[in-house]
Amino acid sequence: MSDTNKGGSRAPGGMGPGMGGPRRGPGMGGPGGMMMGPGGKAKDFKGTMRRLVSYIGRYKGAVMAVWAIALVSTAFSIAGPKILGKATTKLFEGVMGKISGAGEVDFAYIGGILAMVLGLYLVSALFSYIQGWIMSGVSVKITYRFRKDISEKINRMPLRYFDGTNHGEVLSRITNDVDVVNQTLNQSLTQLITSAATVIGVLVMMFSISLKLTLVALVIMPLSMGFVTFIVKKSQKLFKAQQEYLGKVNSHVEEMYGGHAVMKAFNGEKRSVEAFERHNKELYGTAWKSQFLSGLMMPMMNFIGNLGYVAISILGGYLAVQKAITIGDIQAFIQYLRSFTQPMGQLANISNVLQQTAAAAERVFEFLEEEEERPDTASPADADLVRGHIEFKDVHFGYSPEKTIIKDFSAFADRGHKIAIVGPTGAGKTTMVKLLMRFYDLDSGQILIDGIDSTSFTRKDLRRCFGMVLQETWLYNGTIMENIRYGRPGASDAEVVEAAKMAHADHFIRAQPSGYETVINEEANNISQGQKQLLTIARAIIANPKMLILDEATSSVDTRTEILIQKAMDSLMANRTSFIIAHRLSTIKNADLILVMKDGDIVEQGRHEELLAKCGFYAEIYNSQFSADVNTAECESA
Ligand SMILES: Nc1ncnc2c1ncn2[C@@H]1O[C@H](COP(=O)(O)OP(=O)(O)O)[C@@H](O)[C@H]1O
Ligand SMILES: [Mg+2]
């Protein structure tokens, strides 16, 4: 009898028994349960859910089908215990009959019932398999669409957005938030239906078996539920704290490991270890409590549940003696009682899960609704005809409306000329480059390329005209060969080597352990900053652009190499317009035009000699770099 009980209690929903070993599932608050995502609740729950449903869109039919199948599967498995109870009753009657000599055990009948129950459970399992299969497919497709939409959106976002947003946040949208939605679609949505159906179905079955037993059960149940809710609330709080401290420990380790050299240099080991121990101790405290509590829950629930069984068994036995109930029905009843707790727990948790889903989906939708870049013109100008005549006309620009950075920039760059932009840090030199590449749109004014407004080109075409090398180098995890080839994916190995030679990078590349096949690691810390710059210059050279922009591209390279690169560039850029931003003015002496910037304005412009002769701002900067220069004296005497 007790054996049948154990076997049967696994029935409804095809899930584990409510009171079995430790179960990881929603409502438990322990590890494996749904954690609170960042940001808590959705601002507009209903609206977001409606949007999510419309996002599910053409999969609505499949979701409906899944629900229908889940309902059938649940119904089939709920029927199990009641029918199985008939077999128990028959067996009991047969045994009793045999004892009193009045009859035999009707094994044929019992066998028939067992076969039927087996059939029911098989069908139920098959249906739940089909349902899981369809739902996984749907949720993965929807998640795929979400990620695709986000990724495409990122490409349409203005750079302005990323200036003001944490990278981690954007990353979290693509991974965590979409994952939460996926999980809900995949599990919670069907769980909602099966749990509700199980709770209702089991209640109906219980009532149909015995009103009295059900009433007793319903008095005991809230006790257990109340206890679970209490523990879940408590442990969820502790669990959140545990996550927080775990995060602190992790970020401390990451920070210290990332800045290992600096930490050592400042003798920070002791402080670092102390901080680690502090965080770790806090983590220990909360982790201990939360795990103890969630570990406590199962035995306590078992205890309360067992009290219930005792009550039901006593009352059931009394009723059976009075012939008000059959043995099989008592067995079925206890099975139903056992299968009640889990779906109740899931239902209790579902509002929580839906809230988290709404919050996650809302963040994703908000991101998808962010203002985008102004779309490219419908009839773009032909960038292939660009010759490299560039004019800045009354350019005004600020990263934010409150603060204008470029106040009134007008300049003219002739085709094939070498234009140098100089000025103190923060003058707006890099900003000008970004505007030229149209990373940002102007507040007013125009940038004309061969007399055509730069907004008349598509961004893609426009950027293809320029090769750009920045002070911050960007290399990815790959070989040196691949990194240089990034400039022109079709380039041959020989062309890559040629470009590297022009950038004066060939020599150091060959000195690497695997030459051009040396893999640059993630932080690119296996080569020096200056070497990285040489690689990015080679990358720009191989792209063979019409115009070139070097923004302090050689700042980490020694002066001799810098001059060599400048010479190579000069020949490379002979017929192309180039913009050079350099700190060391010695390298731009031969520029066709020098624009001297200060606080977003051009304060002087002209050739090197003209500017020196002016004894203005340029002469001041230049002389500060060559303090012993004769020119200083000239200016003072002037
Ligand atoms: N992404 C940004 N968002 C807001 N302000 C910025 C941003 N980039 C630069 N600035 C500001 O614009 C000014 C000019 O910067 P930048 O053009 O980089 O100067 P430079 O290259 O001449 O040293 C600085 O005051 C800087 O603080
Ligand atoms: Mg700069």
Q: What is the CATH number of the domain that holds 99?
A: 1.20.1560.10
What's the average model confidence in pLDDT over 69-80?
Answer: 87
Which residue has its alpha carbon closest to ligand 1 atom 20? 426
Same-domain pairing of 572 and 479? yes
Is residue 374 one of the residues assigned to a domain?
no
Q: What is the pLDDT of residue 11?
A: 33
Is residue 612 one of the residues assigned to a domain?
no
Same-domain pairing of 413 and 294? no
Look at residues 549, 501, 505, 513 and name the one whose alpha carbon lies nearest to residue 531.
Answer: 505
Q: What is the pLDDT of residue 524?
A: 64
Same-domain pairing of 347 and 422? no
Is residue 317 one of the residues assigned to a domain?
yes
Is residue 435 one of the residues assigned to a domain?
yes
Same-domain pairing of 454 and 537? yes
Same-domain pairing of 355 and 402? no
Find the domain containing 600 and state its range: 383-606
Same-domain pairing of 393 and 527? yes
Same-domain pairing of 209 and 358? yes
CA of 433 relative to ligand 1 center, distance in Å? 11
Best probe residue, ligand 1, of 405, 425, 595 (max atoms within 8 Å of C-beta) = 405
Same-domain pairing of 82 and 206? yes
Is residue 236 one of the residues assigned to a domain?
yes
Q: Considering every ligand atom, which ligand is closest to the CA of 423?
A: 1
Task: Please tell me the distance from the alpha carbon of residue 495 to that of residue 376, in angstroms, as a whole number.
Answer: 33
Q: What is the pLDDT of residue 118?
A: 92
pLDDT tens profile 339-374:
877 787 778 778 778 888 888 888 888 888 888 888
pLDDT tens profile 316-343:
889 888 888 888 888 888 888 888 777 8
pLDDT tens profile 401-452:
888 889 888 888 988 899 999 999 999 999 999 999 998 999 999 999 999 9
Whether the CB of 427 sits within 6 Å of ligand 1: yes
| Single residue among 347, 369, 391 that ends a domain in this structure | 369
| Single residue among 337, 369, 401 that ends a domain in this structure | 369
User: Would the pLDDT of 483 be above 80?
Assistant: yes
Tokens 């090398």: give the residue: 469
Same-domain pairing of 415 and 284? no
Domain count, the chain: 2
Q: Give the pTM.
A: 0.68
Same-domain pairing of 320 and 388? no
DSSP alpha helices (H): ranges in 103-183?
107-156, 159-163, 167-172, 178-183
User: Would the pLDDT of 526 be above 50?
Assistant: yes
User: Would the pLDDT of 23 be above 50?
Assistant: no
Same-domain pairing of 451 and 302? no
Q: What is the mean pLDDT of the chain?
A: 82
Whether the CB of 109 sits within 6 Å of ligand 1: no
- Closest-lying ligand 1 atom to the alpha carbon of residue 163: 1
Q: What is the pLDDT of residue 506?
A: 92
CA of 422 relative to ligand 1 center, distance in Å? 14
Same-domain pairing of 78 and 225? yes
Which residue has its alpha carbon closest to ligand 1 atom 5? 399
Q: Considering every ligand atom, which ligand is closest to the CA of 550?
A: 2
pLDDT band at 34 (very low <50, low <70, confident <90, very high): very low
What's the average model confidence in pLDDT over 570-574?
Answer: 74
CA of 426 relative to ligand 2 center, distance in Å? 7
Q: 98-108 burial, b if ≥16 CB within 10 A, otherwise e?
A: eeeeeeebeee
pLDDT band at 510 (very low <50, low <70, confident <90, very high): very high
Q: What is the CATH number of the domain that holds 414?
A: 3.40.50.300
| Single residue among 322, 345, 369 that ends a domain in this structure | 369
CA of 532 relative to ligand 2 center, distance in Å? 17
Best probe residue, ligand 1, of 166, 399, 552, 601 (max atoms within 8 Å of C-beta) = 399
| Range of 57-61, 244-248, 251-255, 406-410 with top mean pLDDT | 406-410
User: Would the pLDDT of 58 be above 50?
Assistant: yes
What single string gives the DSSP state of each residue in 178-222? Answer: HHHHHHIIIIIHHHHHHHHHHHHHHHHHHHHH-HHHHHHHHHHHH
Whether the CB of 163 sits within 6 Å of ligand 1: yes
User: Would the pLDDT of 44 be above 50?
Assistant: yes
